[in-house]
């Protein structure tokens, strides 16, 4: 359905780069990134060799959840620029052969959206049924904590919100709402965007009988979650709606539809359901398998094997960082002697050599680390604030991009940025690394180039030849071409497997012969 005539699609072939617009580049010196800032940096993104960009939302919003609470889907928020800037951004991306993927938040709007303002105003308002109203709440809790129902004094009823109370859920059972959203898709597809990343697709529908969820003991990571979301997650109707949305995307050539399905890695079958059957539903499912938890050869081998059970017509995705989770580089090889270069190059090599679409989250390519333990007065994320700072929140992975350490605020803005610059390493900035052929940035660029030029790497079969506690040996092959990737996660030298000896080295971080130095990688 969304298939390109070559049979192999851009979203499979290429690497996708995630830009969090608030933190990429500020062009008007208000401390917040914007669309014109991104336009200024498009050459940089193009030089990375990526195929396209997924932009986090920049639509009109009161920003209670930093843009995931939209009050006008067709308007760029003035903080980020204008609709003309968006057109220019799309055009400039096209000029550079960069695909544009927009973030569509369809589960909910802002409580300031005119639809909701109308809906809450009276029980007989024509928009009343655009949201989910009940005269009594059940036990469901929101993903950000607290009851998922909010009382509305005007009409003496409760509305449902899977996330913040400022993010009321749309009633997606209402055909008028769905028709509106389909038209929204067409509006952006006509504008020339190449695809959508659909936010939180597993929360679209809830049990019509509103049965109570069973209780669970909360974990350390999520102390605010005290129940298993049985009746407000993964509803069958989610799939029906995704099929319909997918059909709209298929009205246009060569466009992509991806859904974000947040869950832990153990339940791959549920993830598979979101892919649907061949030529239906989602082209890509953005999963969370490597987004939290450990990052070890054994875990990786397990993850790869799970994703290899997808039907042949479906295509995995791999991400180690995002705007919602601790940055991969700060989760890999913790409590070891590995330095940032070793961590970043190991991470990059693993993620960019798997069979599936890799996502690179802005800053990952220079080794930007997580900012842990921000002081309370610098925390902005409602997830942390509304849970009395018992949860770390997501600010630490959203700090500004670092362009040039000789400029104020690392060249991100001339004004104090909305989140503090992470200054753990002075050389984590684009300018310094561009001048150093042994930098993390050069490694990413070289590896992406190698991947783009090597069919075995971008579309070949994958086989795990060896997975041990400290090492991983992967084979990628396409027709006659065979590529071997060997990764050393240990602090010791390890012998290079015989199968790799005397082969042409494509790229390596090790300077030794026949031996892979600590935390190094080799591709032959």
401 binds ligand BGC, rule: CB under 6 A: no
Q: Which of residues 20, 24, 58, 68 is near ligand BGC by CB under 6 A?
A: 68
- As given in the structure block, the two tokens for residue 83 are 């609709």
DSSP 87-138: HHHHHHHHHTT-EEEEEE--SB--TTSHHHHHHHH-TTSTTGGGB-EESS--
Place of tokens 């499912």: 285
206 binds ligand BGC, rule: CB under 6 A: no
SS3 of residue 60 by DSSP: strand
Q: Which residue is nearest to ligand BGC (CB)?
A: 68
Give a three-class secondary structure readout of 350-371.
HHHCCCCEEEEECCHHHCCCCC
224 binds ligand BGC, rule: CB under 6 A: no
* Residues in CB range of 467: below 8 A, 6 or more apart: 297, 298, 300, 301, 473
Q: Which is nearer to ligand BGC, 201 or 421 (CB)?
A: 201
Q: Please give the DSSP secondary-structure letter assigned to residue 420.
A: P
199 binds ligand BGC, rule: CB under 6 A: yes
260 binds ligand BGC, rule: CB under 6 A: yes
Q: Which is nearer to ligand BGC, 328 or 518 (CB)?
A: 328
The size of the interface with ligand BGC (CB under 6 A), counted in residues, is: 10
Sign of CA dihedral 323, 365, 29, 35: negative
381 binds ligand BGC, rule: CB under 6 A: no
Reported as type and span, the H/E element at residue 191 is: helix 175-191
258 binds ligand BGC, rule: CB under 6 A: no
Place of tokens 């009109």: 60
200 binds ligand BGC, rule: CB under 6 A: yes
Q: Which is nearer to ligand BGC, 160 or 458 (CB)?
A: 160
Query: In the range 129-188, which residues lie near ligand BGC by CB under 6 A?
Result: 163
SS3 of residue 519 by DSSP: coil
105 binds ligand BGC, rule: CB under 6 A: yes
Annotated active-site residue in 251, 253, 453, 481: 251
69-75: long-range pairs with CB below 8 Å, 24+: 69/105, 69/108, 69/109, 69/110, 69/111, 69/112, 69/164, 69/166, 69/167, 70/105, 70/109, 70/110, 70/113, 71/109, 71/110, 71/112, 71/113, 71/114, 72/113, 72/114, 73/104, 73/184, 74/184, 74/187
Largest CA distance in the chain: 77
How many Cβ atoms sit within 10 Å of the Cβ of residue 26? 25
Candidates 77, 392, 126; CA nearest to 69 is: 77
Q: Which is nearer to ligand BGC, 163 or 418 (CB)?
A: 163
Q: Tell me the closest approach of the beta carbon of residue 56 to ligand BGC, in angstroms.
A: 7
- As given in the structure block, the two tokens for residue 444 are 């990413």
Q: Which is nearer to ligand BGC, 199 or 369 (CB)?
A: 199
- As given in the structure block, the two tokens for residue 422 are 């992470």
Q: Tell me the closest approach of the beta carbon of residue 464 to ligand BGC, in angstroms.
A: 30
Q: Tell me the closest approach of the beta carbon of residue 427 to ligand BGC, in angstroms.
A: 30
Q: Tell me the closest approach of the beta carbon of residue 262 to ligand BGC, in angstroms.
A: 6
Q: What are phi and psi of 439, to 5 degrees?
A: -90, 165
Q: Which is nearer to ligand BGC, 257 or 474 (CB)?
A: 257
Strands (E), 233-298: 256-260, 284-286
Q: Tell me the closest approach of the beta carbon of residue 166 to ligand BGC, in angstroms.
A: 11
Q: Tell me the closest approach of the beta carbon of residue 380 to ligand BGC, in angstroms.
A: 12
65 binds ligand BGC, rule: CB under 6 A: yes
Contact in structure between 18 and 65 (CB atoms under 8 Å): no
Q: Which is nearer to ligand BGC, 261 or 352 (CB)?
A: 261
Q: Tell me the closest approach of the beta carbon of residue 382 to ligand BGC, in angstroms.
A: 8
Q: Tell me the closest approach of the beta carbon of residue 384 to ligand BGC, in angstroms.
A: 12
324 binds ligand BGC, rule: CB under 6 A: yes
Residue 199 annotated to the active site: yes
Residue 251 annotated to the active site: yes
Q: Which is nearer to ligand BGC, 262 or 367 (CB)?
A: 262
Q: Which is nearer to ligand BGC, 61 or 422 (CB)?
A: 61
Q: Tell me the closest approach of the beta carbon of residue 284 to ligand BGC, in angstroms.
A: 15
Whole-number Å distance between alpha carbons of 268 and 287: 9
Annotated active-site residue in 26, 111, 199, 206: 199
Catalytic positions are 199, 251
- What is the contact surface with ligand BGC in residues (CB under 6 A)? 65, 68, 105, 163, 199-200, 260, 262, 323-324
């Amino acid at each position: 359905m969304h298939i390109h005539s070559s049979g192999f699609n851009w979203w499979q072939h290429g690497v996708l780069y995630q830009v969090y617009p608030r933190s990429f580049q500020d062009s008007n010196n208000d401390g917040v990134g914007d669309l014109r800032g991104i336009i200024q940096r498009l050459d940089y993104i193009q030089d990375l060799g990526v195929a396209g960009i997924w932009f986090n939302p920049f639509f009109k919003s009161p920003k209670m959840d930093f843009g995931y609470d939209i009050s006008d889907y067709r308007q760029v928020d003035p903080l980020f620029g204008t609709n003309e800037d968006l057109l220019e951004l799309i055009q400039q991306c096209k000029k550079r052969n960069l695909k544009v993927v927009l973030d569509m938040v369809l589960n909910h709007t802002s409580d300031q959206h005119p639809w909701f303002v109308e809906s809450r105003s009276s029980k007989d308002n024509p928009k009343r049924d655009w949201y989910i109203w009940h005269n009594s709440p059940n036990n469901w809790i929101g993903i950000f904590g607290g009851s998922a129902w909010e009382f509305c004094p005007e009409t003496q009823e409760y509305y449902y919100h899977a996330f913040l109370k400022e993010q009321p859920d749309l009633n997606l059972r209402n055909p008028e709402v769905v028709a509106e959203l389909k038209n929204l898709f067409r509006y952006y597809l006509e504008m020339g965007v190449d695809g959508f990343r659909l936010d939180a697709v597993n929360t679209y529908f809830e049990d019509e009988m509103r049965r109570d969820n069973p209780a669970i003991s909360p974990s350390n990571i999520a102390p605010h979650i005290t129940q298993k979301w049985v009746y407000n997650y993964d509803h069958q109707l989610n799939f029906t709606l995704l099929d319909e949305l997918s059909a709209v995307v298929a009205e246009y050539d060569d466009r992509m539809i991806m859904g974000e399905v947040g869950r832990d890695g153990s339940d791959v079958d549920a993830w598979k359901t979101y892919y649907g059957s061949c030529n239906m539903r989602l082209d890509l499912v953005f999963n969370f398998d490597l987004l939290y938890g450990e990052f070890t050869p054994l875990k990786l081998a397990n993850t790869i094997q799970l994703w290899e059970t997808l039907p042949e017509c479906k295509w995995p995705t791999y991400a180690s960082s995002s705007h919602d989770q601790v940055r991969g580089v700060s989760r890999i090889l913790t409590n070891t002697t590995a330095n940032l270069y070793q961590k970043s190059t190991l991470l990059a090599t693993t993620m960019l050599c798997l069979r599936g679409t890799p996502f690179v989250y802005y800053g990952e390519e220079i080794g930007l680390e997580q900012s842990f333990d921000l002081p309370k007065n610098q925390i902005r994320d409602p997830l942390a604030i509304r849970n009395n700072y018992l949860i770390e929140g997501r600010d630490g992975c959203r700090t500004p991009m670092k362009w040039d350490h000789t400029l104020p605020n690392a060249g991100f803005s001339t004004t104090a940025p909305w989140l503090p610059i992470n200054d753990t390493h002075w050389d984590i900035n684009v300018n310094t690394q561009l001048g150093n052929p042994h930098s993390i940035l050069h490694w990413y660029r070289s590896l992406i180039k190698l991947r783009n030029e090597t069919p075995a790497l971008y579309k070949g079969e994958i086989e795990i030849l060896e997975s041990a506690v400290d090492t991983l040996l992967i084979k990628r092959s396409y027709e006659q071409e065979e590529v071997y990737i060997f990764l050393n996660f240990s602090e010791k030298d390890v012998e290079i497997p015989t199968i790799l000896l005397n082969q042409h080295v494509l790229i390596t971080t090790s300077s030794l012969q026949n031996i892979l130095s600590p935390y190094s990688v080799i591709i032959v």
